Amino acid sequence: MNQAKRKTQDQIAFEGQNKSAVIADLMREAVEREQRRKQHCSAVDRILANRINAPRISEAEFRAAREEGRP
| Residue 4 falls inside a structural domain | no
Q: How many domains does the chain have?
A: 1
Domain that holds residue 44: 9-68
For position 7, what pLDDT does the model report?
84
pLDDT, tens digit, for every residue of 37-67?
999 999 999 999 999 998 899 999 989 988 8
For position 11, what pLDDT does the model report?
87
| Residue 26 falls inside a structural domain | yes
For position 45, what pLDDT does the model report?
97
| Residue 44 falls inside a structural domain | yes
| Residue 2 falls inside a structural domain | no
For the chain, how far is it from start to end, CA to CA, in angstroms?
68
pLDDT, tens digit, for every residue of 11-37?
888 899 999 999 999 999 999 999 999
For position 4, what pLDDT does the model report?
60
